[in-house]
Structure 1
Amino acid sequence: MFRSSKDAIFLFLRGINTNTYKTQSLQPIVRYLHTSDRIEGNQNGTKTSKDDYFAAIHHISNIVQRDFYMERTLNKMRISIDSELVYRVLRACSKSGTESLRFFNWARTHHPSYKPTTVELEELARTLARTKKYESMWKTLQQMQTLHGLIVSSDTLCFIIEEYGKQGLVDQAVQVFNRASKIFRCQQTVELHNSLLFSLCEVKLFHGAYALVRRMIRKGLVPDKRTYTILVNAWCSAGKMREAELFLKEMSEKGFNPPVRGRDLLVEGLLNAGYIESAKEMVKRMVKQGFSPDVSTFNSVVEVISKSGEVEFCIELYHEVCRIGLVPDINTYKVLIPAVSKLGRIDEAFKLLHNSIEDGHKPFPSLYAPIIKGMCKSGQFDDAHCFFSEMKVKGHPPNRPVYTMLITMFGRGGRFIEAANFLMEMTELGLTPISRCFDLVTDGLKNCGKHDLASRIEQLEVSVHQRELGIHLSTQSNRSPNPMSYEVFEDGELM
Structure 2
Amino acid sequence: MRQFGSVWALIEEMRVENPQLISPQVFVILMRKFASARMVHKAIEVLDEMPKYGCEPDEYVFGCLLDALCKNGSVKEAASLFEDMRYRFPPTVKHFTSLLYGWCKEGKLVEAKHVLVQMKEAGIEPDIVVFNNLLGGYAHAGKMADAYDLLKEMRRQGCEPNATSYTTLIQSLCKNEKLEEAMRLFVEMKSNGCQMDVITYTTLISGFCKWGKIKRGYELLDQMIQEGHSPNQLTYLPIMLAHEKKEELEECMELVNEMQKIGCVPDLKIYNTVIRLACMLGEVKQGVRLWNEMEASGLSPGTDTFVIMIDGFLEQDCLVEACEYFKEMVGRGLFTAPHYGTLKELMNSLLRAEKLEMAKDTWNCITASKSCAMNVSAWTIWIHALFSKGHVKEACSFCIDMMESDLMPQPDTFAKLMRGLKKLYNREFAAEITEKVRKMAADRHITFKMYKRRGERDLKEKVKEKKDGRKRRARQRRWGGAGSSKKTL
Give the shorter-chain TM-score range: 0.5 to 0.7
Alignment partner of 1:165 out of 139, 144, 165: 139
Residue type of the partner of 2:106? L
Other-structure match for 1:437: 413
Alignment partner of 1:364 out of 335, 341, 347: 335
Other-structure match for 2:227: 254
Q: Determine whether 1:454 maps to 2:433.
A: yes
Other-structure match for 1:408: 384
In the TM superposition, residue 258 of structure 1 has moved relative to its aligned partner by: 1.0
Counterpart secondary structure, 2:221: helix
Deviation string 1:315-373 (CA, Å, 9 cap, x unpaired) is 2431353576775622322322145336643123135447769xx94552449725334
Q: Is the 8 A contact 2:275 2:309 kept in 1?
A: yes
Counterpart secondary structure, 2:232: coil
Q: Is the 8 A contact 2:163 2:196 kept in 1?
A: yes
Other-structure match for 1:70: none
Alignment partner of 1:375 out of 346, 350, 356: 350
Q: Is the 8 A contact 1:233 1:270 kept in 2?
A: no
2-structure distance, mates of 1:122, 1:424: 60
Against the structure 1 CA distance between its residues 429 and 286, is the aligned structure 2 distance closer, same or farther, given a 3 Å change threshold? same
Q: Determine whether 1:208 maps to 2:179.
A: no
Against the structure 1 CA distance between its residues 242 and 382, is the aligned structure 2 distance closer, same or farther, given a 3 Å change threshold? closer
Question: Which stretch has the larger CA shift, 327-336 or 282-291?
Answer: 282-291
Counterpart secondary structure, 1:466: coil
Residue type of the partner of 1:244? G
Counterpart secondary structure, 2:282: helix
Q: Is the 8 A contact 1:197 1:212 kept in 2?
A: no
Deviation string 1:156-181 (CA, Å, 9 cap, x unpaired) is 97665445335542233345567779
Deviation string 1:52-78 (CA, Å, 9 cap, x unpaired) is xx9xx89x99xxxxxxxxxxxxxxxxx
Counterpart secondary structure, 2:444: helix
Alignment partner of 1:276 out of 246, 249, 263: 246
Against the structure 1 CA distance between its residues 384 and 164, is the aligned structure 2 distance closer, same or farther, given a 3 Å change threshold? same
TM-score (norm 1): 0.57
Other-structure match for 1:397: 372
1-structure distance, mates of 2:120, 2:155: 15
Deviation string 1:101-132 (CA, Å, 9 cap, x unpaired) is 777778889999x9997898467424422xxx
Against the structure 1 CA distance between its residues 465 and 363, is the aligned structure 2 distance closer, same or farther, given a 3 Å change threshold? same
1-structure distance, mates of 2:160, 2:6: 43
Higher relative contact order (CA 8 A, sep 6+): 1
Tell me the number of residue pairs that the alignment of Structure 1 and Structure 2 aligns.
382
Q: Determine whether 1:347 maps to 2:323.
A: no
Counterpart secondary structure, 1:340: helix
Residue type of the partner of 2:437? E
Against the structure 1 CA distance between its residues 163 and 139, is the aligned structure 2 distance closer, same or farther, given a 3 Å change threshold? closer
Counterpart secondary structure, 2:139: helix
Question: Which stretch has the larger CA shift, 248-257 or 294-303?
Answer: 294-303
Other-structure match for 2:103: 125
Against the structure 1 CA distance between its residues 144 and 254, is the aligned structure 2 distance closer, same or farther, given a 3 Å change threshold? closer
Residue type of the partner of 1:456? E
Deviation string 1:291-324 (CA, Å, 9 cap, x unpaired) is 7992422313444x48xxx734352431353576
Residue type of the partner of 2:167? N
Q: Is the 8 A contact 1:445 1:454 kept in 2?
A: no
2-structure distance, mates of 1:337, 1:107: 54
TM-score (norm 2): 0.58
In the TM superposition, residue 384 of structure 1 has moved relative to its aligned partner by: 1.4
In the TM superposition, residue 453 of structure 1 has moved relative to its aligned partner by: 1.9
Residue type of the partner of 1:311? M
Counterpart secondary structure, 2:310: helix
1-structure distance, mates of 2:270, 2:231: 14
Other-structure match for 2:469: none
Task: Give runs of aligned pairs for residues 218-237 of structure 1, distance below 5 A.
Answer: 218=193, 223-224=197-198, 226-237=199-210
Q: Is the 8 A contact 2:202 2:234 kept in 1?
A: no
1-structure distance, mates of 2:374, 2:327: 21
Other-structure match for 1:10: none
Against the structure 1 CA distance between its residues 437 and 111, is the aligned structure 2 distance closer, same or farther, given a 3 Å change threshold? farther
Against the structure 1 CA distance between its residues 36 and 231, is the aligned structure 2 distance closer, same or farther, given a 3 Å change threshold? closer
Other-structure match for 2:272: 299
Deviation string 1:211-243 (CA, Å, 9 cap, x unpaired) is 266379x55x5723x333211122234554333
Other-structure match for 2:395: 419
Task: Give runs of aligned pairs for residues 20-419 of structure 1, distance below 5 A.
Answer: 82=44, 121=99, 124-129=102-107, 133-139=108-114, 142=117, 154=129, 161-162=135-136, 164-175=138-149, 190-202=163-175, 203-204=178-179, 205-211=181-187, 214=190, 218=193, 223-224=197-198, 226-260=199-233, 265-270=238-243, 275-277=245-247, 279-286=248-255, 294-295=266-267, 296-303=269-276, 305=277, 311-322=280-291, 327=296, 329-330=301-302, 331-341=304-314, 344-353=317-326, 361-362=332-333, 364-365=335-336, 366=339, 369=343, 370-394=345-369, 396-400=371-375, 401-419=377-395
Against the structure 1 CA distance between its residues 461 and 212, is the aligned structure 2 distance closer, same or farther, given a 3 Å change threshold? farther
1-structure distance, mates of 2:97, 2:445: 43
Against the structure 1 CA distance between its residues 355 and 176, is the aligned structure 2 distance closer, same or farther, given a 3 Å change threshold? farther
In the TM superposition, residue 388 of structure 1 has moved relative to its aligned partner by: 1.6
2-structure distance, mates of 1:86, 1:324: 48
Counterpart secondary structure, 2:146: helix
Q: Is the 8 A contact 1:162 1:198 kept in 2?
A: no
2-structure distance, mates of 1:376, 1:152: 65
In the TM superposition, residue 462 of structure 1 has moved relative to its aligned partner by: 0.7
**Structure index of larger Rg:** 2
Question: Which stretch has the larger CA shift, 226-235 or 253-262?
Answer: 253-262
RMSD: 5.4
Residue type of the partner of 2:361? C
Unaligned runs of 5+ in 2: 11-33, 47-64, 447-489
In the TM superposition, residue 80 of structure 1 has moved relative to its aligned partner by: 7.3
In the TM superposition, residue 255 of structure 1 has moved relative to its aligned partner by: 1.7
Q: Is the 8 A contact 1:237 1:270 kept in 2?
A: no
Larger helix fraction of residues = 2
Counterpart secondary structure, 2:174: helix
2-structure distance, mates of 1:122, 1:426: 55
Other-structure match for 1:46: none
2-structure distance, mates of 1:36, 1:288: 55
Q: Is the 8 A contact 2:313 2:322 kept in 1?
A: yes
In the TM superposition, residue 431 of structure 1 has moved relative to its aligned partner by: 5.1
In the TM superposition, residue 261 of structure 1 has moved relative to its aligned partner by: 8.9
Against the structure 1 CA distance between its residues 465 and 255, is the aligned structure 2 distance closer, same or farther, given a 3 Å change threshold? same
Q: Is the 8 A contact 2:103 2:111 kept in 1?
A: no
Deviation string 1:13-42 (CA, Å, 9 cap, x unpaired) is xxxxxxxxxxxxxxxxxxxxxx9999669x
1-structure distance, mates of 2:318, 2:204: 39
